[in-house]
Amino acid sequence: MTIDDQTLSAALPVLTSEFAARAPDYDRDGSFPFENFRRLQEFGLLSLTVAKEFGGAEASLTTQRRVIEAVGKGDASTALVLTMQYGFQEMVAHQPGWPAHLREIISRDAVANGALINGLGVEPDLGTPTRGGNLATVGRQTAEGWSVTGRKLYATGFPGLTWLAVIARTDEAEPRRALFLIRRDSPGITVAERWNHLGMRATNSHEVVFDNVHVPEGNLVTVDSGSALNGFGRAMVLISSVYDGAAQAARDWLVDFLNRRKPSNLGAALATLPRFQEAVGKIEALLLTNRVLLDRAAAAFDQGEADAVAKSELTKNVVTNNAIEVVSKALELTGNHGLTKAQALERHYRDVLCSRVHSPHDDVILIAAGKRALSISEARVLAS
């Protein structure tokens, strides 16, 4: 399946509008946006990164980013779950180590049924596995394959998932850190619906318990670390696009408010005042910076540039902090109007704050960037 530019140009504004209309209800109830994903499947957007040999679009990161940004403007929670779908389906399509039968099953399931997949890695004692440490979730070998036992937090999109890519260590003499591919409806899986967060509420990122869950022998994947790093970098571009989309929605809300708001003592719209014009100009500068950085970071991966991962990490740092500043500035300008639950702005603020929880965190990004820069400087000094 191919999705051309003309089709996307027509579809994305429609989906943004629809998702924005439903977002307040999903946010208020903390319910999963099943209808949004039904619509995404209608447009073929749930298999955007599936390999062409299995009926997918195998789209570039630039195209993926375009979709995520548009969906994020409508509903950031939907965009985040879709980001995970794109990242894992791309892993299935391109990373070595995936059994051929598993690659085909998961890919065709996405094309035919819109089957969603996501990884489950965070644990109560470990936290995020990206910072190292020993996994408590264990896959034990059995006569029929594997048995997985453990507990995972923040299973983003869990109610809508079909496939769970569970990160666990094996009980072998030399333990491996591997992905166990498990269907969500497998016996032995229970969910503790404890997700009740400030923002991104419709992601339903619940806690999941695995109690001797059977996994077929062929459903274990040991992912190449180099390929995983590349995939992680691509995900940073998309995750950043989620929150940039929310910030754009906040800007649109603010512009509409300032044009409609006409205090009686002013006799004109707030949009006519230089103070507000300057502040909106600052917001425009922040969003322009985001757009340029995100487009450049996506192109770096599409063109196979060697430093694409490093660019994606710094892009994530700048873009997410800019997104927070955009919505914060909008709230400063609108006061109580922006903070009321009847308006979308306070939801956008709660959502963009969640950008800080995604790995790699700002300290990791900036330390790594500083080390790279200092190493370059040291090499230049030695060479001079």
Find the Cα–Cα–Cα–Cα dihedral 363, 205, 233, 3, rounded to 10°. -150
pLDDT for position 128: 74
Task: Choose one of 93, 115, 137: the last residue of a domain.
Answer: 115
Query: Is the pLDDT at 75 greater than 90, yes or no?
Result: yes
Residue 378 lies in a domain: no
The answer to whether residues 216 and 230 belong to one domain is no
Residue 383 lies in a domain: no
pLDDT for position 40: 98
Q: pLDDT > 90: what percent of the chain? A: 89
The answer to whether residues 212 and 244 belong to one domain is no
What is the chain's mean pLDDT, rounded? Answer: 94
Arithmetic mean of pLDDT, 45-56 = 97
The answer to whether residues 229 and 175 belong to one domain is no
Against a cut of 0.85, is the pTM above it?
A: yes
Query: Is the pLDDT at 62 greater than 90, yes or no?
Result: yes
The answer to whether residues 96 and 146 belong to one domain is no
Asked whether 246 and 348 are in contact (CB, 8 A), the reply is yes
Residue 200, helix vs strand vs coil: coil
The answer to whether residues 128 and 239 belong to one domain is no
Where b means 16+ CB within 10 Å and e means fewer, 216-238 reads: eeebbbebeeeeeebbbbbbbbb
The answer to whether residues 214 and 319 belong to one domain is no
| Six-digit token string for 184 | 């969500």
Cβ within 8 Å of residue 183, ≥6 positions away: 162, 163, 164
Task: Choose one of 171, 191, 221: the last residue of a domain.
Answer: 221
The answer to whether residues 259 and 316 belong to one domain is yes
pLDDT for position 131: 65
- Out of 24-38, 40-54, 137-151, 366-380, pick the least confident: 366-380
- 315-328: pLDDT as tens digits: 999 999 999 999 99
Asked whether 100 and 115 are in contact (CB, 8 A), the reply is no
Arithmetic mean of pLDDT, 201-209 = 98
Q: Which band of pLDDT confidence, cut at 50, 70 and 90, is reported for residue 90?
A: very high
- Out of 27-31, 173-177, 333-337, pick the least confident: 173-177
pLDDT for position 381: 65
Q: Where are the beta strands (DSSP E) in the chain?
A: 116-120, 138-142, 145-155, 161-170, 177-183, 189-192, 206-216, 220-221
Task: Give the domain CATH number at 268.
Answer: 1.20.140.10
CA 384 to chain centre: 44
359 Rama class: left (phi>0) / alpha (psi -120 to 50) / beta = beta
The answer to whether residues 229 and 365 belong to one domain is yes
Query: Is the pLDDT at 44 greater than 70, yes or no?
Result: yes
**Element of type H or E holding 211:** strand 206-216
Give 223 or 78, the one with higher predicted confidence.
78
Give 98 or 229, the one with higher predicted confidence.
98
Residue 379 lies in a domain: no
The answer to whether residues 150 and 259 belong to one domain is no
pLDDT for position 227: 64
Arithmetic mean of pLDDT, 116-133 = 84
The answer to whether residues 201 and 319 belong to one domain is no
pLDDT for position 382: 67
Phi, psi of 151, deg, nearest 5:
-135, 130
Query: Is the pLDDT at 130 greater than 70, yes or no?
Result: no
pLDDT for position 376: 76
pLDDT for position 378: 67
pLDDT for position 379: 67
Range of the domain at 19: 5-115
Between CA 30 and CA 40, with CA 35 as vertex, the angle to 5 degrees is 120
**Element of type H or E holding 80:** helix 76-94
Residue 377 lies in a domain: no
The answer to whether residues 281 and 148 belong to one domain is no
Cβ within 8 Å of residue 278, ≥6 positions away: none
pLDDT for position 129: 74
Arithmetic mean of pLDDT, 259-279 = 96
Cβ within 8 Å of residue 133, ≥6 positions away: 126, 127
User: Could you give the number of structural domains in the chain?
Assistant: 3
The answer to whether residues 190 and 87 belong to one domain is no
Query: Is the pLDDT at 310 greater than 90, yes or no?
Result: yes
Give first-to-last CA distance, the chain, whole Å. Answer: 55
Task: Give the domain CATH number at 145.
Answer: 2.40.110.10
Name the nearest CA neighbour of 121 among 210, 48, 195: 210
